Every structure is written in C-alpha cells, then in structure tokens.
Chain A
Amino acid sequence: DTAVSQTPKYLVTQMGNDKSIKCEQNLGHDTMYWYKQDSKKFLKIMFSYNNKELIINETVPNRFSPKSPDKAHLNLHINSLELGDSAVYFCASRSDGDTQYFGPGTRLTVL
C-alpha cells in the first residue's frame, strides 16, 4: 500500500506545453506539499496546503497552479513549460506528529 503516490513518474515534454502531475496520499493527513529538487539535488518548497486551503506559495511563478479537490489529493498543473522547469517534483504529506512522507517523485524534462 503506497502511502503517497505520484503520477507520472517520468514526464518528457516540449517547451510551451501544459502538463499536470497528480499526487494522492492515503494516510489521512491534513497537510500536503509540493517540493522541487533541482539539478544540483537541492530541495525547495513550492506550495503547502492544509485541508484543501493554500498556506504557502513560495514565490512560485503563476504558471504553476496547485489544485486540491479533497484533502487526499494535491495536483500540480504547469502552464507554458520552460526549460528551467526541468526538475524532480516531490509531493509530501505531514502527519500530526510532523513527520513528512514523500512521494516517489516525478522527473520532468522539458525539451
């Protein structure tokens, strides 16, 4: 039983396209996140959601739009993809005890 799942695992697309990454957690957590890991493996938070409400948007371009249809899902839609968007995107959820559970990551390559 996968606790935090993401689809797709790999995404290769052309510049200018629009794409979505889906995330689901079956842990019953209220808080979910999107993190970006760049080519140097540095992780940085993008968004934080608590009970479907946006808590943090860490200076992310508005081409990125998270959507939380319910507290188990936090999807990431990206418009007009750019070369610099190539990265690994991790979804995570947070337990009441503050432990974070990470999804397997989605490797996005923009050509």
Chain B
Amino acid sequence: KNEVEQSPQNLTAQEGEFITINCSYSVGISALHWLQQHPGGGIVSLFMLSSGKKKHGRLIATINIQEKHSSLHITASHPRDSAVYICAVPMYSGGGADGLTFGKGTHLIIQP
C-alpha cells in the first residue's frame, strides 16, 4: 500500500514569492495528483502527472518517477492562492479503481 509524505505542513509567504511544496511516495505509481482545497471546502484537481512537468498558469508540477518525488510550484504567488494543497497517489501500484491515498496537505497562506 502506498504512503505519502508531504512538506511543509504549513507555509506562510508574502505576495509575489515563489512557492514550493514537496511530496514523496513509497510505491511506484501510474500517476500522481495535486489537489487544491479552498477555505470553502471544495476539492479541485489541479494536476495529474505521470512524468516530467505540467504547467497551468502560475502553477507548475514536476515529478521524478525514479526518486518517487513530486513538487508543486507557484510563481508570483497571490493571496487567492491561499488554500490547502494535497498530494495524492493511487493506493496500490496498479491504480485503477483502487482509490487514492493522500498526503496530510500543505496549508498555504499568502499575505498581501
């Protein structure tokens, strides 16, 4: 069964700073997910990646399959980026319908 470690747990930064959140997992996977949960509670899928790098606006996600590690970066951070960011991977290496296992989340606060 996969296990996920995410860091940092809490991060406060000033507007405009470059943000990095790290995630490592224990078992080889088909794809890794980055999710965002806003204070209102809803969960949104930001990225799903199985290799390399993906970019969406100011968000960049990278993954190193050999090292079982992924990072989520936010460039030119803004107060609206304040949220909990959660890394998730398939519970078992086969993926499919097994469901996800989650990191403990990173609570990000961007101060103006």
A48 touching B42 by the CB < 8 A rule?
Answer: no
Residue of B nearest to A104 (CB): B42
A56 touching B45 by the CB < 8 A rule?
Answer: no
Q: Is the interface of A mostly helix, strand, loop or mixed?
A: strand
Which residues of chain A come closer than 8 Å to B44, judged between CB atoms? 102
Which residues of chain B come closer than 8 Å to A58, judged between CB atoms? 91, 99
Q: Which of A40, A42, A50, A98 contacts B95 (CB 8 A)?
A: A98
Q: Measured between alpha carbons, how far is A99 from B105 in the docked complex, in Å?
A: 19
Chain B CB within 8 A of A19 CB: no
Chain B CB within 8 A of A88 CB: yes
Residue of A nearest to B91 (CB): A45
Q: Measured between alpha carbons, how far is A104 from B37 in the docked complex, in Å?
A: 10
A55 touching B42 by the CB < 8 A rule?
Answer: no
A48 touching B97 by the CB < 8 A rule?
Answer: yes
Q: Measured between alpha carbons, how far is A75 from B101 in the docked complex, in Å?
A: 21
A90 touching B43 by the CB < 8 A rule?
Answer: yes
Chain A residues touching B, range = 20 to 34
A33 touching B99 by the CB < 8 A rule?
Answer: yes
Q: Measured between alpha carbons, how far is A88 from B107 in the docked complex, in Å?
A: 17
Question: Given contacts A94-B97, A100-B33, is CB(A88)–CB(B102) below 8 Å?
Answer: no
Which residues of chain B come closer than 8 Å to A100, judged between CB atoms? 33, 45, 100
Chain A CB within 8 A of B21 CB: no
A interface residues, Cβ below 8 angstroms from B:
30-31, 33, 35, 40-45, 48-50, 55-56, 58, 88, 90, 94, 97-102, 104-105, 107
Q: A45-B99, A97-B48 are in contact. List 6 more A-B contacts (CB 8 A).
A: A33-B99, A42-B102, A43-B86, A56-B91, A56-B99, A100-B100
